[in-house]
Amino acid sequence: MDAPTLIYDLAIAWTWKYDFEFVQLLEKTAFDASLRTLTIDPMSVSRIFEQVRNRTLFFRFFLDRASDEDENFQPLARLIQKRLREPEHPFSIRPINPLDLVAQASDKATMHLEFLSHGINVPYTIIISPYNHKKEIELTLSELARLGRPFIIKPANTTGGGIGVVTGAETLKDVLEARQHHRNDKYLLQETIKPALVGKRPAWFRVFYAFGRILPCWWDDQTHLYESLGSDEEAFDGLAELRRYTASIQEVCKLDFFSTEIVLTSEQKVVVVDYVNEMCDMRLQSHHPDGVPDAIVMDIIQSLVRLVESNSI
């Protein structure tokens, strides 16, 4: 077979306008490491799909930040997933977070059961069938009472920005109304987990897993504001469990890059409250008050570049 005409180390598919700074930083860091990058946007995705399909364009790694939002990127993502089953091909493409693993990780009901089976603490939860599969809810008064008030209602597969989540549910009527919004989705009813205070801060954390690195941050579930968590704070406040839990979550979901939300309760119990966010918001804090601290974003970028660099041409 003739050699391909174009070979890159890393392709980055993106469509969200707020990804611009992240993609720009990633390209620059990769360039400084002498890596060849290719950005794929809505204007170029069809052309690049044809080139990949015809085997005239290859890239070693594929970071997909678009196919979940724009269906025009899905044929390319599915093609690359298919190529995973061609290990004998000399120019195989490795997707960051393969589609099959993303589909499993994004299902909160599946992850809830997996976490339980792996000894990961999660909120008390009742999983109910999709409305279109079973219109009646089999829910006892004792189960509802155990949830406490208020409780949380969330769809199992509708993700991103808290879409479809009800945080102040009080009654069975709230459940009946909520499950009408996504009729083909399972729903989770969860107890509300209250964080302890560490100093004056709620012990609520968003932790990133990025290509072998574990990066914990303070995160306020009300304001959505981040603060970096220093290594001295981890030791002093006994928060090393954040790393252990995140490593366990990675063993379950097997993703290269994700975030999770973890709470330390007043009973000193570590509870994972939002299981796997497989499409991390990478807006920089220097550009957006509720963005991720710039140093964390750069650490994530450098970890990805090191991974690609160790497998470059």
Under 8 Å between Cβ of 206 and 223: no
Determine the pLDDT at residue 86.
64
Q: Rounded to the nearest 5°, which phi and psi values hold at 260?
A: -145, 155
Write the burial class of residue 249 (CB in 10 Å: 0-12 exposed, 13-18 middle, 19+ buried): buried
Determine the pLDDT at residue 313.
55
Q: What are 59-70's pLDDT values in tens digits? A: 999 999 999 999
> 88-102, 129-143, 266-280, 284-298: which has the highest mean pLDDT?
284-298
Average pLDDT for 73-102: 85
Write the burial class of residue 264 (CB in 10 Å: 0-12 exposed, 13-18 middle, 19+ buried): buried
Determine the pLDDT at residue 259.
97
Domain limits, the chain: 6-97, 124-191, 195-302
Looking at the domain that runs over 6-97, which CATH code has it been given?
Answer: 3.40.50
Determine the pLDDT at residue 306.
97
Number of H helices, E strands in the chain: 10, 15
**Torsion angle of the four alpha carbons 132, 189, 161, 173, in this order, in degrees rounded to the nearest 10:** 70
Q: What radius of gyration do the chain's Cα atoms show?
A: 21
Give the pLDDT band of residue 85 (cuts 50, 70, 90): low
- Give, in words, the CATH class of 124-191: alpha beta
Q: What are 105-128's pLDDT values in tens digits? A: 999 999 999 999 999 999 999 998
SS (H, E, C) 262-282: EEEECCCCEEEEEEEECCCCC
Q: What are 168-201's pLDDT values in tens digits? A: 888 888 887 888 878 888 889 999 999 999 888 9
How many CB atoms within 10 Å of residue 129? 16
Under 8 Å between Cβ of 194 and 271: no
Write the burial class of residue 39 (CB in 10 Å: 0-12 exposed, 13-18 middle, 19+ buried): middle
- Please give the C-alpha separations between residue 242 and each of 107, 129, 136, 259, in angstroms, as whole numbers: 22, 32, 39, 12
Looking at the domain that runs over 195-302, which CATH code has it been given?
Answer: 3.30.470
The residue whose two tokens read 């080139």 is 51
What is the amino acid identity at position 2? D
- Which pTM was predicted? 0.91
